[in-house]
Amino acid sequence: MTEPDKVKQIIDIMSKNGWRITEQRRTLAEIFVKNDGYLSPKDVYDQMSVDYPSVSFDTVYRNLRLLSEMGALEQFYFMDGGLKFRGSCTNHHHHHLICINCEKTLSFEYCPMEQTLNLPGKFKIVNHRFEVYGICEECQSEQALQTTV
């Protein structure tokens, strides 16, 4: 999918949720399309304030949370880095392995929610997220090199 298509996808999600599409919101979508990694609210604010010096951090943060609720962004909590966001993978259902060292993300297709679950109180699941945090192969190799030197 091309960058313009990805921006359009995020814009379409905003529109379907009743948002008026402003240049600021278009810029917000472009920021996430141009960055493959995770962005903290401060990272996004710093990029937004270049073109829109009057934008407040609270406005940026609120928009990130709402875009996450809409499904346009995924949010992850990193132990050292706090809450971060990235563009959603909307083409199919999958989960993530996330390196706590370099923040590299690997997708995997196994979904533990497909197993038979004996949930209490007739609980009905309507949505879920599943992330596994660890250390990727490259970071493990670097750590092994550092300990042998």
Q: Is the pLDDT reported for residue 14 higher than 80? A: yes
Helices and strands in the chain, H and E counts = 5, 5
Q: Which of 48, 68, 91 marks a domain boundary?
A: 91
Residues 59 and 107 in one domain: no
Residues 78 and 11 in one domain: yes
Residues 83 and 100 in one domain: no
pLDDT digit string, tens, across residues 30-52:
999 998 778 999 999 999 999 99
Residues 57 and 108 in one domain: no
CATH at residue 23? 1.10.10.10
Residues 44 and 69 in one domain: yes
Residues 119 and 84 in one domain: no
Is 89 annotated for ligand binding?
no
Residues 85 and 149 in one domain: no
Q: Do β-strands 95-99 and 131-134 pair in parallel, antiparallel, or remain unpaired? A: parallel
Read off the pLDDT of each residue in 86-103 and give the average, rounded to a whole number: 79
Residues 83 and 97 in one domain: no
Q: What is the pTM of this model?
A: 0.72
Containing structural domain, residue 49 = 1-91
Q: Is the pLDDT reported for residue 21 higher than 90? A: yes
Q: Is the pLDDT reported for residue 129 higher than 90? A: no
Torsion angle of C-alpha atoms 1, 15, 28, 61, degrees rounded to 10: -130
Number of domains in the chain: 2
pLDDT digit string, tens, across residues 99-128:
888 888 887 777 777 777 788 888 887 777
